[in-house]
Homo-oligomer: A and B are copies of this chain.
């Protein structure tokens, strides 16, 4: 089975997720700056989630580049990842509308953590399907980003109950960590071609 439709479907879902998040920015009923002010935290949470969906799309793109055959297991691992990412608009809106309160920030981190685990599972499925000389396993190397992120999410979730801002700062740190495009796979592929 080819991967074209898997990519097309994933692109479609990610494009919709990234765009419907903006619907949580409800149009205010006045035309003054005062009416815009309460939307600032919603906008900030939107920016963070936009970055995360962009990062996932980017890395997903790179990862599937190494994948030739799509098995049933890969299909479902991919849907599992999309499920957690589909909850981002909800937790983004909840965190933004409550001005980054502790509990919504923690739940936001839980969704990020679950998505990271789902991404890891998908990665393992693809590696397993590629056999002993997996191009993806070679490409990700030590995968220190993939291993560090869940640890930082868990730390962030815990921190939100001590100081919500510190916890959110950790989520931003992980985003910045990934924002640097994942050149590992690119390099590795170039190295072998």
Contact = CB atoms under 8 A, between A and B. Distances in A.
Nearest to A21: B86
A54 interface: yes
A79 interface: yes
Interface residues of A, number: 60
Interface stretch (A94-102, A128-136, A137-145): A94-102
A191 interface: no
A157 to B, nearest CB: 15
B13 A15 contact: yes
A103 interface: yes
A22 B76 contact: no
Name which of A7, A54, A73 has the most chain B CB atoms within 10 A of its CB. Answer: A54
A58 interface: yes
A47 B87 CA distance: 11
Interface in A1-55: 1, 5, 7-9, 11-20, 22-25, 27-33, 36, 47, 50, 54
A36 to B, nearest CB: 8
B181 A98 contact: no
Contacts of A182: 72
Nearest to A185: B1
7 contacts: A1-B186, A5-B11, A11-B12, A15-B16, A18-B82, A27-B94, A75-B181
Given A27-B90, A50-B83, 19 more contacts: A1-B62, A1-B65, A5-B7, A8-B11, A9-B11, A12-B16, A15-B16, A19-B86, A20-B20, A20-B22, A22-B87, A31-B94, A31-B98, A47-B83, A50-B86, A58-B72, A58-B75, A58-B76, A73-B181
